[in-house]
């Protein structure tokens, strides 16, 4: 048990999880709190964050800080609030994101700007704002959340895919620049995960579901808890020599396919 606590325990750490009330964000936030971290739950809807904190059931390990992180000013403001109230930030999980599925030719400028402001601007400016605070306190961990579109092109998600591809490259660049400050930056890339948003969107389409289940070697969709172990690894002391990596949790989707799949 001692070696597990030494390598994977988060006692005394302060972790910020954006988009915490979503399926993936809530699973990660819960795991970090149970591993001993004080977890800042961020999102835009206070009532959802309150419900998540109640569900986690560790009031001394959860702090609620709602904020819309689509502008540099709000990103800086959130980090300033964390420094003022908690004194440090050890872990940042950039999980907040939005998607809009339509043909590339049909995207409006408003569609484009809205997705970029959340998925890319928020990630960059929040990481940038967190950097000096992490550096001052001797280092930290930044975990970006990518997707399958960090690797491949998928139809009807042109702008979302562009942002997730950019996040993959940003993760590598920040890892290179900030390694000297003992800050590790990695990108976790979920495969096709069942969440309330994907159930209402992609997974409500029988044709897409059939194609995906034929294509995924594990023959099932993922669930948020499938991501938890890797999300914990990448912010724990066990990953002190892992940085700049894209790690896919996808049931084998990117590995390839087989003629023998049913």
The single-letter DSSP state of residue 202 is G
160 is catalytic: yes
49 membership: H or E segment, kind and range:
helix 46-56
Choosing from 32, 131, 160, 241, which is the catalytic residue? Answer: 160
Number of H helices, E strands in the chain: 10, 7
Pairing of strands 140-145, 14-17: unpaired
Check: CB of residue 143 under 8 Å from CB of residue 234: yes
Catalytic residue positions, numbered: 160
């Amino acid at each position: 048990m001692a070696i597990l606590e030494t390598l994977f325990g988060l006692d005394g750490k302060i972790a910020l999880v954006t988009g915490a009330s979503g399926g993936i964000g809530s699973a990660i936030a819960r795991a970090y709190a149970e591993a001993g971290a004080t977890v800042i739950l961020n999102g835009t809807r206070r009532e959802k964050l309150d419900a998540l904190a109640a569900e986690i059931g560790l009031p001394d390990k959860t702090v609620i800080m709602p904020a819309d992180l689509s502008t540099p000013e709000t990103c800086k403001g959130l980090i300033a609030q964390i420094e003022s109230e908690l004194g440090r930030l050890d872990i940042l999980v950039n999980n907040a994101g939005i998607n809009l599925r339509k043909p590339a030719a049909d995207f409006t400028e408003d569609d484009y700007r809205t997705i970029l402001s959340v998925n890319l601007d928020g990630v960059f400016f929040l990481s940038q704002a967190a950097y000096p605070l992490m550096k001052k306190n001797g280092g930290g961990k930044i975990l970006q959340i990518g997707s399958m579109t960090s690797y491949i092109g998928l139809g009807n998600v042109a702008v979302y895919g562009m942002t997730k591809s950019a996040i993959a490259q940003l993760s590598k660049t920040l890892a290179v620049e900030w390694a000297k400050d003992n800050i590790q930056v990695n990108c976790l890339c979920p495969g096709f995960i069942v969440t309330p948003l994907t159930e209402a969107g992609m997974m409500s389409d029988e044709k897409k579901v059939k194609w995906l289940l034929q294509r995924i070697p594990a023959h099932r969709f993922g669930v948020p808890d499938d991501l938890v172990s890797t999300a914990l690894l990448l912010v724990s002391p066990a990953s002190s020599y892992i940085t700049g990596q894209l790690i896919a949790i996808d049931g084998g989707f990117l590995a390839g396919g087989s003629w023998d799949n049913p």
